[in-house]
Amino acid sequence: MNLADGVQLVSFLVLAAMMIGAALGVVLLSNIVYSAFLLGLVFISMSGMYILLNAGFVAAAQILIYVGAVNVLILFGIMLVNKREDFVPIKNAWVNQVATAVVCLGLFALLSTMVLATPWAISSATPIGDMAIVEIGKHFFSDYLLPFELASVLLLMAMIGAIVLARRDYLPDELLTSERRDEPSALTLPERPRELISSNKK
C-alpha cells in the first residue's frame, strides 16, 4: 500500500465514522434543531465520499443543493413554525421502539446484501473529470428532464409554505373562524400580536 492509498483509506474511515455518528444523532436526539444541523453534517460527509470517488461535480452539487438549499430550508421551516409543546408520555412506547428497530435492522440487512452482491467494478468506458460533467448535463436535459423539473417545483412549494407560515401573524382576526377561536390553546401555535392592515392604507 502506497501513501495515496493509505490517505484514501484513512479519509474514507473518518468520513464513514462522521456520517454514521451524525446519522445516529439525527435519529436519536430529541432536539429537532440539533437533528437538522447533524443532517447537514451527513450531507457534507457524503460529499466527501463523492470526492474520494473522483466525482467532483456531484460533490459540489451535494453541498450546493442539499446543504445550501434543502437543509437550510428544513432549518427555516423548523425555526419559523416554532411550536412549543411539551412531549406527552405515550403508553406502551416500547412497542413502537421495537417495531422501529426491527424495520431499521431489516433495511440495514437488505442494503448490506445489495452492497455485497453488486459488482462495483468501474468500466473503462465510464467518463471521468470534465467529460463526466458533460455527460451529466446531457442526461439532465434529455433523459432526466422531467424529474429535474419536478424536484425544483417541489422545493418551490416548500419555500412558499415556509413563507405562509412565517406571515401568519399578519392575518386579521376577522379572517379567523369561530371554530379556530374556540380551539384549546394546547393545539394552537404561539403567535405575536397581530397587525391589522387597514383598507385605507396606501
Confidence band for 68, pLDDT divided at 50, 70 and 90: confident
Q: Which of 28-32, 120-124, 157-161, 174-178 has the lowest mean pLDDT?
A: 174-178
Q: In this predicted structure, what is the pLDDT of residue 45? A: 93
The stretch 57-70 carries a mean pLDDT of 85
pLDDT per position as a tens digit, 92-104 = 777 888 898 899 8
Domain 3-84+127-178 has CATH 3.30.70.370: no
Q: How is the chain split into domains, by residue range?
A: 3-84+127-178
The residue ranking higher by pLDDT, 87 or 112, is 112
Q: How far apart are CA 155 and CA 159, in angstroms?
A: 6
What cell numbers appear for 195 in the block? 397587525
Longest Cα–Cα distance of the chain, Å, equals: 78
Q: In this predicted structure, what is the pLDDT of residue 193? A: 53
DSSP states along 61-121: HIIIIIIIIIIHHHHHHHHHH----PPPP-TTHHHHHHHHHHHHHHHHHHHHHHHHHS--P
Q: How far apart are CA 182 and CA 176, in angstroms?
A: 10
Q: Which of 36-40, 103-107, 112-116, 184-188 has the lowest mean pLDDT?
A: 184-188
Which helix (H) or strand (E) segment is 16 a member of? Answer: helix 3-28
pLDDT per position as a tens digit, 16-37 = 999 999 999 988 887 888 888 9
SS3 category, 35? helix
Q: How far apart are CA 162 and CA 166, in angstroms?
A: 6
